[in-house]
Amino acid sequence: MDNYIHLIEELSLNAWPSQKLELYDGWLIRFSYNYTHRTNCVNLVADSTLPLEEKIAFCEQEYRNAHTPAIFKISPFEEKDFDPLLERHGYRIEHTTDVLTMPLTNFRPYPSIGAEYEFYQKNSGLPSFVVYPDNVLVQLCDTITNDWIQSLFRLNGTTNPTHLRIVPSMYQAIPKQTIAAGIEIDGRMVASGLGILDRNHIGLYAVYVDRSCRRKHFGKAICSAIISEAMKLGADHAYLQVVAENEGARRMYEGLGFQYLYTYWFRVKDVE
């Protein structure tokens, strides 16, 4: 199991680039103007040779220079005394997250009733949209377009001017094959999802549904469309990350066949 958790951690790092990176004595320091904790934190990726107190102080200064909180990701592989050490340094826990995975032999998709294929640009054989009950259309594209990103910002409430400026380049820097999905009503995206393919795995990211459209199976349709197309492209496993308290999303994912693998969290300290 440890090897598989290592793999999922690698896939997650590949899938979600930061705006800047720094490698420091086995620690990967990520910077993204605090857009998300995952892209603005320290990941312990190899053994340390320097004293931990010295390294923590160094990271705090780096984040102080970036005018963001200092954040450390705590995965199952950290030494048991590292999390208590951060607590003694005044770090609080935020964003406890569960990682769910699924062999796609266990996939229980939300049944579609049709698809439309319009081959254009570099659409890699993906359908332009997949039809679900009640005339729900999931639009698919293998390119993360600026229109999709701007619609995602409206959907997830991103308004910070710095984030609006730098985050599009982070999405466009994803080095792996992608499947961008959306559901529109009257020309406005009300549900989104992003699939990222790597080593026979499809990772699900940026799954959002507008509050006005909850309980209409939009999330299940988005996830099912992405996973179904990823299987045609060779994926045989799926993974995702969900905030531990999000019971509604957890039930939806488990209904599709996902199961719990492990938990991680972030330790955060304001250092400005």
What angle (nearest 5°) sits at the alpha carbon of residue 83, between those of residues 78 and 85? 120
- CA dist 159 to 15, 136, 167, Å? 23, 28, 11
Average pLDDT over every residue of 239-268: 96
Confidence class for position 167, pLDDT limits 50, 70, 90: very high
Q: If residue 12 lies in a helix (H) or strand (E), which one and from where to where? A: helix 2-15
Average pLDDT over every residue of 255-269: 98
Q: How many CB atoms lie within 10 A of CB 157?
A: 8
Average pLDDT over every residue of 87-97: 97
102-261 — its CATH code?
3.40.630.30
CA distance 223 to 178: 13
> Residue 62's closest CA among 254, 272, 262?
272
Q: Is 168 helix (H, G, I), strand (E, B) or coil?
A: helix
Number of residues in the chain: 272
Average pLDDT over every residue of 22-32: 96
What pLDDT was estimated at residue 119?
A: 62
| Domain extents in the chain | 2-98, 102-261
